[in-house]
Structure 1
């Protein structure tokens, strides 16, 4: 059973996070997406710890058990949160695991802080300056329509459950309750509007991640509708050509939980690559 800790950031903001493994071990930072929490990594964290790493997975502000920002919930502020969170924990270098919006946020952050990245593990996201938003995102981004969409989808747990089960049929009540906690207040229901309306793919500098010449893995759900499989190839070709792509069959968008057993096999392969580079040096590391 994973227990969450509480960290206080500036402004007395409580941040809830999972922190498992030896404190002296290399850190794996796991960043969740929308509308999720750190529990999306629930089945992945024990595997990471078993391989000799320290797994840290925050609830992003406003999600899970973390306090909401007292400033707008924009992707810029979430990127700054990553820096503030790691600084508070005195963590200088991370193996970055990221999913969905957590990847949009943290991959941009990684491009700004390449010296902090030890490896990359990317799942089901969008990351390109010419990317297209999926239909629900377009609704959120449109004035008035976005507000009506939020009211329709998030006003009750029942409506939220219908939404989630349409793309994540195996979601548990535990996850549903935790994920829905974001939307219990009007302020929380405003988060998707602020987040999606602040997102601007044109600000992504194509090829920015090429400077991170570290082991990389991309894992994707074959049936992901929100982020189709071609996005995985786009990220590899444009940003991390050293990455291996692993497609999980018969799975949709929420891969870290839906296909935890398969993902954990890839996690193990990922850290074999990491150790190969550490032992053999850059020139001897092979994908």
Structure 2
């Protein structure tokens, strides 16, 4: 496996991203980066990004939640951000992403976790929480889902999958902008491109769409179905925080509210924004997390 590592110089002077880098090896010679802010003795809030973003996506939310007295961890998935990047798209699989993330979780020995996940952060995070339920105390999902291949995917996703696999041009920053209602600044757009100095570094970003299970025969479909069986027994708090303008995940919040017992009676909310609601409504999204943790302390 040929592994690429983005030069740290590309991450200098990023807007609103002053966080000290932390690194952990999740496989031989494969390093995962993560943000770790706030009180080290506080219960952790785990923020998982998706495609094709990185922990920069949560930059406005991290200090808000940390300043409220919590420990916030935001890893960069392998292939993204400051984490190492295998150069071949075939080096990435759903199961490998799960293995890397599980190694990170187990090594840090995190417990009483509040999971915050969006996009591919949900495809990985919901599996992670279901498979390690003793480590997680609540789940907050924004614009995310756990597909099993049993339902028809939106046409927009099929087009996206084809583009990611075959387009010679893969403009990460423009892709993030397309999923964001507000206009990102030049510095913010540059920050989303920072992890990818050349096309070789984008194999992980290109690989994600083809890893989504589209039929029950997909190799990961059975594992995701098993996760749903676990979620159907999940009675810990499960909160949906979707946006009003996401054509890919629209309706997924109501589906999860019906199917997951822990969602009953929770303060579900629809926020203004596009797919990347962390960019469009970061303060409101952070407030949902803080209020959920306040409710636990008051109980």
CA contact (8 A) 1:37 1:178 kept: no
Whether the 8 Å CA contact 1:124–1:224 is kept in 2: the answer is yes
Q: Are residues 1:244 and 2:267 paired?
A: yes
Contact 1:33 1:101 in 2 (8 A): yes
Q: CA 1:174–1:8 in structure 2 vs 1: closer, same or farther (change >3 Å)?
A: farther
1:95-244 correspondence runs (5 A): 95-129=114-148, 130-139=150-159, 141-142=161-162, 146-149=164-167, 151-152=168-169, 154=170, 159-168=171-180, 169-200=182-213, 202=216, 203=221, 204-205=224-225, 206-228=228-250, 230-239=251-260, 240-242=262-264, 243-244=266-267
Looking at structure 1, the residues matched to 253 and 242 of structure 2 have their Cα atoms a distance apart, in angstroms, of 7
Runs of 4+ in 1 over 4 A off after TM superposition: none
For the aligned residue pairs, the C-alpha RMSD in angstroms reads 2.4
How far off is 1:259 after superposition?
Answer: 0.5
Q: What secondary structure sits across from 1:244 in the alignment? A: coil
Counterpart contact for 1:37–1:63, Cα < 8 Å? yes
Q: Is the 8 A contact 2:33 2:83 kept in 1?
A: yes
Does the Cα contact within 8 Å between 2:165 and 2:207 map onto a contact in 1? no
1:36-88: CA deviation from partner (whole Å, max 9, x where unpaired): 10111111111221222110100111111110247722222111122111122
2:82: which partner in 1?
65
In 1: Cα distance, 2:194 partner to 2:29 partner? 20
Query: Which 5+ residue runs of structure 2 have no aligned equivalent?
Result: 1-17
CA contact (8 A) 2:240 2:269 kept: yes
Distance 1:65 1:121 in 2: 25
Give the number of aligned pairs: 267
2:79/2:203 contact within 8 Å kept? no
Higher helix share: 1
CA distance in 2, matches of 1:233, 1:148: 33
The two structures have a TM-score, normalised by structure 1, of 0.83
Deviation of 1:94 after TM superposition, in Å, equals 1.5
